[in-house]
Amino acid sequence: MADRQKEKLEYLSDGAVFRRNAFILIEEMVKLNNQTQQDTSMLVEEVLHSLFFLGVINCPPFSPRSLLDDDDVILAYLKREYPLPFQLYSAQLPRRSPFSCLQDMLVSLYGQENEDQIDDELKKIVHKMKGGTNS
């Protein structure tokens, strides 16, 4: 019985990790989109679509609202700025992973030739996702 409860706690904590990391990726993508002069909104849409889809198939499942920390202001903003992912996530498979979208966003922001800077930014975000502090 104790083993079963331990498994249940690990299961719940895995869900919390997915939820936290999804929120971090969304937050980072929107921030990076606002920093670049290029139109990278399609990358934000793609990461939202991918994360919302992964949330639905996750066990336990997560709705877009729950991935956004149940924050109505953030939800309303994203629905207004990026409506397509909210329409497609339950009806269409995403084309690629959220991390791939993040990498493309960083390449758009810093330029393909700045590999070290892209790697450093990726490491900062991964560190944040592992529970590290913001840098």
Residue ranges per structural domain of the chain: 2-129
* Position with higher pLDDT, 105 vs 135: 105
7-11 mean pLDDT: 47
Q: What is the pLDDT of residue 3?
A: 60
Q: Is the pLDDT of residue 109 over 70?
A: yes
Q: What is the pLDDT of residue 15?
A: 76
Helix pair angle (115-129, 98-110), 10° resolution: 140
pTM for this predicted structure: 0.85
Q: Which amino acid is at 70?
A: D
